[in-house]
Amino acid sequence: MNYPNGKKSSSQSLRKKEKPDFSNRGMTLEEDIAFTNEYYRIDNIANIHKKPTPVQIVDVHYPKRSAAVIKEAYFKQASTTDFNGIYRGSYIDFEAKETKNKTSFPLSNIHQHQIDHMKDCHHHGGICFLIIKFSLRDETYLLPAEDLFHYWEAQFSGGRKSISYLDIKSKGELLPFHYQARVDYIKVLDKLYF
């Protein structure tokens, strides 16, 4: 077979039938949010960033100076939430989670220290929320912290250990995918808080 550059293809590449690689064909929720946050920053809309996870490095292997490899590391402390920043003079703090479950969001995906952190921020006037992506439905919702707190506390007094998809759909706000602001949560914040 001849290609436009005039070279023949090798018979070996024709015989070797490779499976298409579908890994990474869709971005993760956190990558979409990071892309959105960069758009917000460049357009001077908001300044929101992913929080780094504090790590204590214990052992590093140096085969050569430019190729250091971390062999052992530990989390210094439990992380709080994924993202924080400022928008229209208000502190913004939120967690982002994906689930493959079609009917509910398991509360086990969130930790008590994250709820405690959001409650502290909320108490001091910060705007806190949870962004949940139902991967199999390809739908993303913003759930205000006040609603999240209700479901969180209810699980300890005999309530569900998850939030149903229908509850999230009714109490949360759908975040449609956009080209520049892929997870455009600022429009929802404008609607709910400003």
114 belongs to an annotated ligand binding site: yes
The three-point CA angle 6-12-13 to 5° equals 65
95 belongs to an annotated ligand binding site: yes
SS (H, E, C) the chain: CECCCCCECCHHHHHCCCCCCCCCCCCCHHHHHHHHHHHHHHCCCCEEEECCCCEEEEEEECCCHHHCEEEEEEECCCCCCCEEEEECCEEEEEEEEEECCCCEEEHHHCCHHHHHHHHHHHHCCCEEEEEEEECCCCEEEEEEHHHHHHHHHHHHHCCCCEEEHHHHHHHCEECCCCCCCCCCHHHHHHHHHC
99 belongs to an annotated ligand binding site: no
80 belongs to an annotated ligand binding site: yes
| Annotated binding-site ranges | 80, 82, 95, 114
| Annotated binding-site ranges for Mg(2+) | 80, 82, 95, 114
